[in-house]
Amino acid sequence: MEQASIYIELDALLDTRLATLFQMDPVQTQRVIQTGYFSRLYDEFEGFDGDAFKQAYGQRNLSTLKDAVATQAIDFINFFSAQTLKALVTSPFRRQPRAVINVYPYPLDDTVIPVLIQGVRAATKRMIDIEVVYLPLEEVTPHLLKSHYVVAVMYAYWEWLEAHALNRNLEKVQCPEITLIGPALLKSKDAAHQLKEIDPFKVVERYTEPYIKLRLYPAEKFSYDFRRHKQPPGAAPSP
């Protein structure tokens, strides 16, 4: 049976940004949640030094995962699975949907990975096969995506584009048939102010068209899923 696969990063499935903020200052994190976290256009947060956050997030580890809750990005997997299974009705080909989760940079051991897979299976109603890989950004090449995936979901999609433009992988292999999903975020508040007169996300999507089909969604889709979690990290559980 042929497999139709979606690639997704653990940093997209879990809100490790909010977990990082919580570990820096749980009280201020609650204020951030209430004052525009879900509608943000950049990862700079009121009451947090920007450089300090970048450094803390760059050092995220297994401890970060303990305070990370699921995001709405699971919807991308569920939509992909439903579309793949729907296509079976009119297609002569048997295509089993598969989600491949890249857990980099978290070195999960053999006791944690089954728990992760079980959680994703439950969230996807067991309609899709789940696999786990550990691949640095440089190893997730355009050739890899083109060869194995239909859709890729990344949080810091701009880092992937920059890395593979710099090493010229995107010159060697273009994959405009692959959909790359990421959050509609800018690099900084300054960039947002400079681009007030245009829709920068539509510009980026058009600019990358020859290389990959980039589709950007509101940051809310990559933030903690309040539909499933009534309380953010560190809050007292609901009775």
Residue 117 lies in a domain: yes
Q: What is the DSSP string of 59-113?
A: T--HHHHHT--BBTTHHHHHHHHHHHHHHTTT-SS-EEEEEEEE-TT----TTTH
Indicate whether 134 pLDDT > 80.
Answer: yes
pLDDT reported for residue 3? 64
- Are 192 and 46 in contact by the 8 Å Cβ rule? The answer is no
Indicate whether 91 pLDDT > 70.
Answer: no
Residue 28 lies in a domain: no
Residue 29 lies in a domain: no
Indicate whether 227 pLDDT > 90.
Answer: no
Region at 201 (left for phi over 0; alpha for psi -120 to 50; beta for the rest) = alpha
Indicate whether 95 pLDDT > 80.
Answer: no
Convert the pLDDT of each residue in 142-174 to its tens digit.
999 999 999 999 999 999 999 999 999 999 999
pLDDT reported for residue 158? 94
Residue 32 lies in a domain: no
User: What total of structural domains would you count in the chain?
Assistant: 1
Residue 45 lies in a domain: no
Residue 30 lies in a domain: no
CA nearest neighbour of 234 among 35, 26, 81, 86: 26
Mean pLDDT, rounded, of the chain: 89
Tokens of 50: 């920007």
CATH assignment at residue 134: 3.40.50
Residue 58 lies in a domain: no
Convert the pLDDT of each residue in 28-79 to its tens digit.
999 999 999 999 999 999 999 999 999 999 999 999 999 999 999 999 999 9
All residues at 6 or more sequence positions from 206 whose CB lies less than 8 Å from its CB, including other chains: none
* Segments forming the whole domain that contains residue 156: 2-13+71-222
Residue 46 lies in a domain: no
Which amino acid is it at 229? H
